Amino acid sequence: MSFLDFSLLDHARNTRRLSELAGGDPVILQFFRGWWCPKEQAFFRKLVALQDEAEVAYCRMVSVSVDPPEVSAAFRAGLGARWTFLSDPERSVQEQLRLRETTDTVNHPYVPAVFTLFADLTVHRLYDGYWFWGRPTLEELRQDMRHITRAIRPDWEAPTP
Protein backbone atom coordinates (compact mmCIF):
# COMPACT_ATOMS: atom_id res chain seq x y z
CA MET A 1 0.00 0.00 0.00
CA SER A 2 1.36 3.42 -0.93
CA PHE A 3 0.88 6.38 1.39
CA LEU A 4 -1.01 9.47 0.20
CA ASP A 5 1.47 11.91 -1.36
CA PHE A 6 0.05 14.96 0.39
CA SER A 7 1.28 18.56 0.49
CA LEU A 8 1.32 20.77 3.58
CA LEU A 9 3.13 23.84 4.91
CA ASP A 10 6.27 23.13 6.89
CA HIS A 11 7.37 24.91 10.07
CA ALA A 12 8.88 27.69 7.92
CA ARG A 13 5.76 28.06 5.74
CA ASN A 14 7.22 26.31 2.70
CA THR A 15 4.80 24.05 0.85
CA ARG A 16 6.23 20.54 1.00
CA ARG A 17 5.12 17.35 -0.71
CA LEU A 18 5.75 14.11 1.13
CA SER A 19 7.50 12.45 -1.83
CA GLU A 20 9.83 15.42 -2.13
CA LEU A 21 10.66 15.22 1.56
CA ALA A 22 11.34 11.50 1.25
CA GLY A 23 13.77 11.98 -1.60
CA GLY A 24 15.29 8.56 -2.06
CA ASP A 25 15.38 7.59 1.60
CA PRO A 26 13.28 5.63 4.12
CA VAL A 27 10.90 7.81 6.12
CA ILE A 28 9.59 7.84 9.68
CA LEU A 29 6.26 9.65 9.33
CA GLN A 30 4.67 10.64 12.62
CA PHE A 31 1.25 12.14 13.27
CA PHE A 32 0.84 13.68 16.70
CA ARG A 33 -1.87 15.38 18.74
CA GLY A 34 -0.07 18.60 19.58
CA TRP A 35 2.57 20.18 21.79
CA TRP A 36 0.22 20.15 24.76
CA CYS A 37 -0.08 16.36 25.09
CA PRO A 38 2.23 14.75 27.70
CA LYS A 39 2.24 11.48 25.74
CA GLU A 40 3.53 13.32 22.69
CA GLN A 41 6.15 15.11 24.74
CA ALA A 42 7.36 11.76 26.09
CA PHE A 43 7.42 10.20 22.64
CA PHE A 44 9.21 13.17 21.10
CA ARG A 45 11.98 12.83 23.65
CA LYS A 46 12.59 9.36 22.21
CA LEU A 47 12.54 10.61 18.63
CA VAL A 48 14.96 13.40 19.47
CA ALA A 49 17.31 10.77 20.88
CA LEU A 50 16.93 8.72 17.70
CA GLN A 51 17.89 11.64 15.46
CA ASP A 52 21.49 11.34 16.63
CA GLU A 53 21.56 8.03 14.76
CA ALA A 54 19.22 9.00 11.96
CA GLU A 55 21.37 11.99 11.02
CA VAL A 56 24.11 9.68 9.75
CA ALA A 57 21.89 6.84 8.50
CA TYR A 58 20.29 8.35 5.37
CA CYS A 59 16.67 8.34 6.44
CA ARG A 60 14.12 11.11 6.87
CA MET A 61 11.79 12.07 9.69
CA VAL A 62 8.56 14.03 9.27
CA SER A 63 6.10 15.03 12.00
CA VAL A 64 2.55 16.25 11.28
CA SER A 65 -0.02 17.97 13.47
CA VAL A 66 -2.93 20.39 13.21
CA ASP A 67 -0.87 23.13 14.84
CA PRO A 68 -0.13 26.18 12.64
CA PRO A 69 3.45 26.57 11.36
CA GLU A 70 4.44 29.13 13.99
CA VAL A 71 3.40 26.80 16.80
CA SER A 72 5.14 23.85 15.13
CA ALA A 73 8.30 25.92 14.72
CA ALA A 74 8.30 26.88 18.39
CA PHE A 75 7.65 23.31 19.55
CA ARG A 76 10.32 21.96 17.18
CA ALA A 77 12.86 24.48 18.44
CA GLY A 78 12.04 23.69 22.05
CA LEU A 79 12.51 19.98 21.43
CA GLY A 80 15.78 20.44 19.58
CA ALA A 81 14.35 18.53 16.61
CA ARG A 82 16.22 18.83 13.33
CA TRP A 83 13.63 17.35 11.01
CA THR A 84 10.60 18.76 9.19
CA PHE A 85 7.33 19.51 10.97
CA LEU A 86 4.22 19.86 8.80
CA SER A 87 1.08 21.77 9.66
CA ASP A 88 -2.50 20.86 8.83
CA PRO A 89 -4.60 23.49 10.64
CA GLU A 90 -7.36 23.13 8.03
CA ARG A 91 -7.37 19.37 8.75
CA SER A 92 -7.60 18.67 5.04
CA VAL A 93 -5.02 15.87 5.00
CA GLN A 94 -6.33 14.62 8.33
CA GLU A 95 -9.72 14.11 6.68
CA GLN A 96 -8.26 12.39 3.62
CA LEU A 97 -6.28 10.04 5.84
CA ARG A 98 -9.18 9.54 8.29
CA LEU A 99 -6.78 10.19 11.15
CA ARG A 100 -8.91 12.50 13.29
CA GLU A 101 -8.98 11.58 16.95
CA THR A 102 -12.74 11.44 17.40
CA THR A 103 -12.59 11.26 21.19
CA ASP A 104 -11.08 14.75 21.44
CA THR A 105 -13.92 17.07 20.50
CA VAL A 106 -12.03 20.17 21.68
CA ASN A 107 -8.79 20.14 19.71
CA HIS A 108 -9.75 17.78 16.86
CA PRO A 109 -6.15 16.59 16.65
CA TYR A 110 -4.55 13.81 14.67
CA VAL A 111 -4.82 10.44 16.30
CA PRO A 112 -1.21 9.54 17.17
CA ALA A 113 0.25 7.23 14.55
CA VAL A 114 3.62 6.37 13.09
CA PHE A 115 4.20 4.97 9.63
CA THR A 116 7.53 3.69 8.39
CA LEU A 117 7.75 4.19 4.64
CA PHE A 118 9.91 3.15 1.76
CA ALA A 119 11.29 5.98 -0.35
CA ASP A 120 8.45 5.52 -2.86
CA LEU A 121 5.99 5.93 0.06
CA THR A 122 5.09 2.25 0.21
CA VAL A 123 4.01 1.58 3.79
CA HIS A 124 6.24 -0.85 5.64
CA ARG A 125 4.57 -0.72 9.05
CA LEU A 126 1.88 1.22 10.90
CA TYR A 127 1.84 1.91 14.64
CA ASP A 128 -1.41 3.09 16.22
CA GLY A 129 -0.37 5.33 19.10
CA TYR A 130 -3.78 6.06 20.59
CA TRP A 131 -2.59 4.12 23.61
CA PHE A 132 1.00 5.06 24.41
CA TRP A 133 2.23 1.48 24.30
CA GLY A 134 1.00 1.18 20.74
CA ARG A 135 3.77 3.49 19.61
CA PRO A 136 7.00 2.07 18.22
CA THR A 137 9.98 1.66 20.44
CA LEU A 138 13.23 3.06 19.12
CA GLU A 139 14.35 -0.52 18.55
CA GLU A 140 11.31 -1.19 16.37
CA LEU A 141 12.05 1.94 14.36
CA ARG A 142 15.68 0.85 13.97
CA GLN A 143 14.54 -2.55 12.74
CA ASP A 144 12.12 -0.95 10.28
CA MET A 145 14.82 1.37 8.94
CA ARG A 146 17.18 -1.60 8.63
CA HIS A 147 14.56 -3.60 6.72
CA ILE A 148 13.79 -0.77 4.29
CA THR A 149 17.40 0.26 3.82
CA ARG A 150 18.41 -3.33 3.10
CA ALA A 151 15.68 -3.49 0.47
CA ILE A 152 16.43 -0.20 -1.31
CA ARG A 153 20.23 0.03 -1.17
CA PRO A 154 21.76 -2.21 -3.83
CA ASP A 155 25.10 -2.10 -2.01
CA TRP A 156 23.68 -3.18 1.38
CA GLU A 157 26.27 -5.94 1.42
CA ALA A 158 29.60 -4.18 1.31
CA PRO A 159 31.55 -4.70 -1.90
CA THR A 160 34.43 -7.13 -1.42
CA PRO A 161 37.78 -7.25 -3.23
Residue numbers at the binding site for other proteins (CB under 8 A): 10, 12, 14, 16, 21-25, 51, 54-62, 73, 77, 80-84
d(CA 38, CA 33): 10
Q: Minimum CB separation from other proteins for residue 4, in Å?
A: 17
Cβ atoms of 1 and 123 closer than 8 Å: yes
Q: Which is nearer to other proteins, 21 or 113 (CB)?
A: 21
Which one, of 9, 62, 74, lies nearest residue 35 by Cα?
74
User: Cβ of residue 101: shortest distance to other proteins, in angstroms?
Assistant: 26
The gap from C-alpha 102 to its chain's centroid, in whole angstroms, comes to 21
Nearer to other proteins, 132 or 156 (CB): 156
Instruction: Tell me the residue type at 15.
Output: T
Alpha helices in the chain (DSSP H): 18-22, 38-54, 69-79, 92-97, 138-152
- Nearer to other proteins (CB atom), residue 2 or residue 14: 14
Q: How far is the CB of 103 from other proteins (least distance, A)?
A: 31
Q: CB 25 → other proteins: shortest distance, Å?
A: 8
